[in-house]
C-alpha cells in the first residue's frame, strides 16, 4: 500500500503557482529575520528553523479548508504562517509580547491560533499525535451536521522522523486506523532527529512502509517539490473527505540550518547540506515557473517585495507590542468564568 | 583545578565507564550530537558505540531497557534529556524501577542511574522548564539526588552507581556553565546527607539544586543587614536528611524553604511538615516558603522571572520570619 510519489505533476496556472512560491518565500524570509532577531536577543529560548522544508507546509496546509484542523510541531512557524496565522501575531509571539497569538507566553515552539484551528506547536516530540486522533474523533462524532463544506473534516498532524520512534506514534497510528478516523499524518522526514540520523533511530527507515502496516494508505513524497506535496495531499484529503479514513504522507525533506540555535552541527557533513541545498524547494519551483514562462526577474522581485513588506510589518508590530503585566501571570491557569479572573486559588 | 559543572559530570561518567565494565551511557543524542547540554561531548569517540549508545526518541522504551539491563547485571546510566520528557517514561520509572524490588519480595533489585536536566530560567516555556524532582521524591523505592556544586556533580554519580537501587540525578540546567575550583583528586561523595553551605545563627534557609546559589546570594545580602543566615543544601530529596533539617532549625529557630517546584503538595510542604512534626516547639516563627508560582512557566523573561524564586524574595521571606528588631543595625 505504499507508493513513491511520481516525479512531479505539471505546473498549475500562474496565479496558483505564484501563491505556492509566495508562501515558501514568506516562510523563508520570515525565518531568516527570526535568526537575525535571535542574535539581537529579541527572540529568546529555543528557535527551530524550517528553512529548507518550506515546500511541505506550502504544498500541504492550503489543501485544508477552514473547518479542518492542524496540529503542528515545535518547528511550526511555516505550518502556522501558511495556515494563515498572521505573521504579525506569530512574530509578536516570538518576541514574547502580549499581542502574540498565545499572549507571548509560549514563544516560538507554542504558536496557537483558534481562528485558523491551529492547535499548537507542541514541544514534546510526538505530543501532538494523540491530540490529532482526538480532534478527528470529535469531527467524526459531530457527524454530518457539523461537516465541513465539502465533506468529512480532516485533522492534519505534522511530526518528524524522530517522532515516529515514540510510542505515541504507534499508539496514534493504531487508534486512527482502528477507528477509521480522518487524520492526515504528515511526516516531515528530514532524516535527522537533532543529531541522530534516521538509520540510528529506525530499524525500518521506510516510514511509509511502517505506516502501511497499520492498514492505512501511505505514500512517500518528494518533500522538496511543492507540486508533488500538493498533489499527494490533495489526493489524500479527497479520499478522506469521502470517508477514506486516515492517510499517511511521508515528505522527504531536509533542514538547511542547525536543529536549533544551540546546535554546533557536529553530526553531519557540510557537503551533505550543500547537496540538499541544490534542491532548494524555492529554486525548484521558481525554475520551473521560469521555464513555463510564468516568472521572470521582475516577477520574482515582486514576490520578494511583497514578502519583505509583510515581514517588516510583522517586526514593526512585534516591536510595538507590549509586555503582559506581571499581575496577569496567574491568569488562565484555570478558565475564567464570568466575574472571576481565573486565578489559582 | 578550574572546571565547570558540565565538565565535572562528564568526568564522572568517564571515570565510571573506565572503571566498571558494566557501566554504559544511553540516551537521546548522547553520542553523535554530544549530549543536548554537551555533557557527553567526545565520549563516543573515546569509548565507542557499545558504551555510549544513541537511542531513538523512545523515552519509555530506553528507560525500560535500562531497567532491564540493570536487572541483567549491567550498571546503566540512562540520560533523559530533561525532566519534561521523563514524563513519557513515568510508567517505567514508577511502576517498574521503583517497585520491582519490593514486589518481587527482594528478589530483583534495579541498579539503574537515570540522569536528567531540570528547572527553568532559560526562556524555553512551559514544556521545557519544569522542576519535577520533588514529585519523584514522592515515590518510595527511588533515590533522588540534586547535585548543586562541582563536588557533587563530580562525586554523586559513582556513589549512585554503587547503590543497588534506582537513583535519579537531577541537574539544574542553569548549573552546567557554572565555573569553579574542584580539588584535583575529587571523587565519590556520600548521597545520604545534607550539607551546610553557609553557617549562620538567625535563620535557616533550606534548599537544593539551582536554588542553592540564589539562597547563598540571599544569605550574603542578609549578612549586609546583620542577619546571620545558615544555608542547608539538601543534596538528596529522597531519603530526606530529616536530622540535618531539624538540627539547623533547632539552632536558628527559624526556617525558610526555597524550592523552584510548585508549592502545593510539594517537597517544600514535606520539609515544612517534618519541621512541624520534629521541631515545632523550637520554632520562633512560622515556616516560610519561597516556591515557583503555580503556573506553567511562561516564555517572556519578565513573566518567567516572576514565576521562579528570586533572591529578593528569599531575602524578604527571611526578614518575615525574623523578629522586627532584627535587620536593624544595632
Ligand atoms: C519527548 C521529547 N523527547 C526529546 C525532546 C528533545 N528534542 C526536541 S526536538 C528533537 C528531535 C526531533 O526530531 P524529529 O521528530 O525528526 O523532528 P525535527 O526536529 O527533525 O523536525 C528532540 C530529541 C523533546 N522535545 N521531546
Ligand atoms: Mg527530523
Q: Return the CATH number at A249.
A: 3.40.50.970
Q: Are B250 and B244 in contact (CB under 8 A)?
A: no
Task: Clarify whether B59 is annotated catalytic.
Answer: yes
Chain B residues within 8 A of A264 when measuring between CB atoms:
34
Ligand 2 centroid from CA A207, angstroms:
12
How far apart, in whole angstroms, are the C-alpha atoms of residue A13 and residue A17? 6
Within-domain flag for A112: yes
How far apart, in whole angstroms, are the C-alpha atoms of residue A253 and residue A257? 13
Within-domain flag for A341: no
Chain B residues within 8 A of A97 when measuring between CB atoms:
300
CA-closest candidate to residue A29, choices A223, A309, A289: A309
Q: Is the Cβ of A140 closer than 8 Å to some Cβ of chain B?
A: no
Nearest CA in chain A to B42: A266
Residues linked to residue B167 through DSSP beta bridges, in sequence order: B113, B143
CA-closest candidate to residue A75, choices A133, A154, A160, A157: A160
Average pLDDT rounded to a whole number, residues A155-173: 98
How far apart, in whole angstroms, are the C-alpha atoms of residue B24 and residue B74? 8
Atom number, ligand 1, closest to the C-alpha of residue A188: 21
Instruction: Tell me how many domains chain A contains.
Output: 1
Domain hosting residue A258, numbered range: 2-328
Within-domain flag for A338: no
| B242-252 vs B267-279: helix crossing angle, rounded to 10 | 60
What is the per-residue pLDDT across B91-148, written as a single tens digit (0 to 9) for each?
A: 999 999 999 999 999 999 999 999 999 999 999 999 999 999 999 999 999 999 999 9
Interface of B with A in 72-101 (CB under 8 A): 84-85, 88
Q: Is the Cβ of A75 closer than 8 Å to some Cβ of chain B?
A: no
Q: Are B165 and B191 in contact (CB under 8 A)?
A: no
Structural domains for chain B: 2-181 (3.40.50.970), 195-321 (3.40.50.920)
Cell numbers representing residue A130 in the block = 494523540
Q: Is A194 in the pocket of ligand 1 (CB under 6 A)?
A: yes
Q: Is the Cβ of B28 closer than 8 Å to some Cβ of chain A?
A: yes
What string of H, E and C letters represents the secondary structure of chain B?
CEEEHHHHHHHHHHHHHHHCCCEEEEECCCCCCCCCCCCCCCHHHHHCCCCEEECCCCHHHHHHHHHHHHHCCCEEEEEEEEHHHHHHHHHHHHHHHCCHHHHCCCCCCCCCEEEEEECCCCCCCHHHCCCCHHHHCCCCCCEEECCCCHHHHHHHHHHHHHCCCCEEEEEEHHHCCCEEECCCCCCCCCCCCCEEEECCCCEEEEECCCHHHHHHHHHHHHHCCCCCEEEEECCEEECCCHHHHHHHHHHHCCEEEEEEEECCCCHHHHHHHHHHHHHHHHCCCCCEEEEECCCCCCCCHHHHHHHCCCHHHHHHHHHHHCCCCCCCCC
ipTM: 0.89
Nearest CA in chain B to A322: B300
Task: Clarify whether B102 is annotated catalytic.
Answer: no
Nearest to B295 among A166, A195, A329 (CB): A329
What is the per-residue pLDDT across B256-307, written as a single tens digit (0 to 9) for each?
A: 999 999 999 999 999 999 999 999 999 999 999 999 999 999 999 999 999 9
Q: Is A162 in the pocket of ligand 1 (CB under 6 A)?
A: yes
Identify the burial level of B61 via C-beta atoms within 10 angstroms of its C-beta, where 0-12 means exposed, 13-18 middle and 19 or more buried.
Answer: middle
Q: So what's the pLDDT on residue A142?
A: 78
Q: So what's the pLDDT on residue A340?
A: 62
Within-domain flag for A203: yes
Within-domain flag for A339: no
What is the per-residue pLDDT across B73-90, written as a single tens digit (0 to 9) for each?
A: 999 999 999 999 999 999
Within-domain flag for A71: yes
B56–A324: do the CB atoms touch at under 8 Å?
A: no
How far apart, in whole angstroms, are the C-alpha atoms of residue A108 and residue A219? 30
Q: Is the Cβ of A45 closer than 8 Å to some Cβ of chain B?
A: yes
What is the per-residue pLDDT across A219-273, written as a single tens digit (0 to 9) for each?
A: 999 999 999 999 999 999 999 998 889 999 999 999 999 999 989 999 999 999 9
Average pLDDT rounded to a whole number, residues B229-253: 98
Within-domain flag for A274: yes
Within-domain flag for A181: yes
A107–B307: do the CB atoms touch at under 8 Å?
A: no
Average pLDDT rounded to a whole number, residues B307-325: 94
Q: Are B154 and B9 in contact (CB under 8 A)?
A: yes
Q: Using the predicted structure, report yes or no on whether residue A50 has a pLDDT greater than 70.
A: yes
Amino acid at each position: 500500500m505504499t507508493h513513491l510519489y511520481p516525479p512531479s505533476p505539471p505546473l498549475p496556472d500562474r496565479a496558483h503557482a505564484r501563491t505556492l512560491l509566495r508562501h515558501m518565500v514568506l516562510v523563508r524570509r520570515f525565518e531568516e529575520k527570526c535568526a537575525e532577531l535571535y542574535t539581537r536577543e529579541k527572540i529568546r529560548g529555543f528557535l527551530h528553523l524550517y528553512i529548507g522544508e518550506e515546500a511541505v507546509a506550502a504544498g500541504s496546509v492550503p489543501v485544508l479548508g477552514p473547518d479542518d484542523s492542524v496540529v503542528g510541531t515545535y518547528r511550526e512557524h511555516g505550518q502556522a504562517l501558511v495556515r494563515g496565522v498572521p505573521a504579525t501575531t506569530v512574530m509578536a509571539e516570538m518576541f514574547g509580547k502580549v499581542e502574540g497569538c498565545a499572549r507571548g507566553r509560549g514563544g516560538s515552539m507554542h504558536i496557537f491560533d483558534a481562528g485558523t484551528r491551529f492547535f499548537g506547536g507542541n514541544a514534546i516530540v510526538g505530543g501532538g499525535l494523540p491530540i490529532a486522533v482526538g480532534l478527528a474523533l470529535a469531527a467524526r462524532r459531530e457527524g454530518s451536521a457539523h461537516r465541513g463544506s465539502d465533506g468529512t473534516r480532516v485533522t492534519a498532524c505534522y511530526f518528524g522522523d524522530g517522532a515516529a520512534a515514540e510510542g505515541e506514534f504507534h499508539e496514534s497510528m493504531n487508534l486512527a486506523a482502528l477507528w477509521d478516523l480522518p487524520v492526515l499524518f504528515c511526516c516531515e522526514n528530514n532524516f535527522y532527529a537533532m543529531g541522530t540520523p534516521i538509520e540510528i533511530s529506525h530499524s525500518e527507515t521506510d516510514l511509509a512502509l511502517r505506516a502501511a502496516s497499520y492498514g492505512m494508505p501511505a505514500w512517500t513524497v518528494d518533500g522538496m517539490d511543492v507540486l508533488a506535496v500538493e498533489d499527494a495531499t490533495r489526493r489524500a484529503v479527497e479520499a478522506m473527505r469521502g470517508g477514506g479514513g486516515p492517510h499517511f504522507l511521508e515528505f522527504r525533506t531536509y533542514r538547511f540550518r542547525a536543529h536549533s540555535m544551540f546546535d554546533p552541527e557536529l553530526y553531519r557533513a557540510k557537503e551533505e547540506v550543500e547537496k540538499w541545498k541544490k534542491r532548494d524547494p524555492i529554486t525548484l519551483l521558481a525554475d520551473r515557473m521560469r521555464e513555463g514562462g510564468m516568472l521572470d526577474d521582475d516577477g520574482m522581485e515582486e514576490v520578494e517585495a511583497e514578502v519583505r513588506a509583510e515581514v517588516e510589518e510583522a517586526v514593526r508590530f512585534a516591536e510595538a507590542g507590549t509586555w503582559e503585566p506581571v499581575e496577569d501571570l496567574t491568569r488562565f491557569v484555570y478558565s475564567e468564568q464570568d466575574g472571576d479572573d481565573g486565578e489559582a486559588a | 583545578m578550574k572546571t565547570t559543572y558540565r565538565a565535572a559530570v562528564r568526568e564522572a561518567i568517564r571515570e565510571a565507564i573506565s572503571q566498571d565494565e558494566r557501566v554504559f551511557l544511553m540516551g537521546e543524542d548522547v553520542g553523535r550530537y554530544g549530549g543536548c547540554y554537551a555533557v557527553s561531548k567526545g565520549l563516543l569517540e573515546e569509548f565507542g558505540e557499545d558504551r555510549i549508545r544513541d537511542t531513538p526518541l523512545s523515552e519509555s522504551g530506553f528507560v525500560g531497557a535500562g531497567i532491564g539491563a540493570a536487572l541483567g547485571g549491567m550498571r546503566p546510566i540512562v540520560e533523559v534529556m530533561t525532566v519534561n520528557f521523563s514524563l513519557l517514561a513515568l510508567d517505567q520509572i514508577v511502576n517498574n524501577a521503583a517497585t520491582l524490588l519490593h514486589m518481587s519480595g527482594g528478589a530483583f533489585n534495579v541498579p539503574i542511574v537515570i540522569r536528567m536536566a531540570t528547572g527553568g530560567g532559560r526562556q524555553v516555556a512551559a514544556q521545557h522548564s519544569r522542576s519535577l524532582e520533588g514529585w519523584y521524591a514522592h515515590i518510595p523505592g527511588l533515590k533522588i539526588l540534586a547535585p548543586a556544586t562541582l563536588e557533587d556533580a563530580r562525586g554523586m554519580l559513582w556513589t549512585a552507581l554503587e547503590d543497588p537501587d534506582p537513583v535519579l540525578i537531577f541537574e539544574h540546567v542553569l548549573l552546567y556553565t557554572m565555573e569553579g575550583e574542584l580539588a584535583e583528586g575529587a571523587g565519590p561523595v556520600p548521597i545520604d546527607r545534607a550539607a551546610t553551605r553557609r553557617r549562620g545563627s538567625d535563620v535557616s534557609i533550606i534548599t537544593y539544586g539551582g536554588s542553592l546559589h540564589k539562597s547563598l546570594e540571599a544569605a550574603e545580602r542578609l549578612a549586609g543587614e546583620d542577619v546571620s543566615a545558615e544555608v542547608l543544601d539538601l543534596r538528596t530529596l529522597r531519603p530526606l536528611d530529616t536530622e540535618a533539617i531539624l538540627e539547623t532549625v533547632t539552632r536558628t529557630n527559624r526556617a525558610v524553604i526555597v524550592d523552584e517546584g510548585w508549592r502545593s503538595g510539594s517537597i517544600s510542604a514535606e520539609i515544612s511538615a517534618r519541621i512541624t512534626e520534629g521541631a515545632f516547639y523550637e520554632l520562633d516563627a512560622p515556616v516560610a516558603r519561597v516556591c515557583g508560582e503555580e503556573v506553567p512557566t511562561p516564555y517572556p523573561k519578565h513573566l518567567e522571572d516572576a514565576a521562579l524564586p528570586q533572591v529578593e524574595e528569599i531575602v524578604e521571606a527571611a526578614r518575615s520570619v525574623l523578629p522586627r528588631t532584627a535587620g536593624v543595625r544595632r
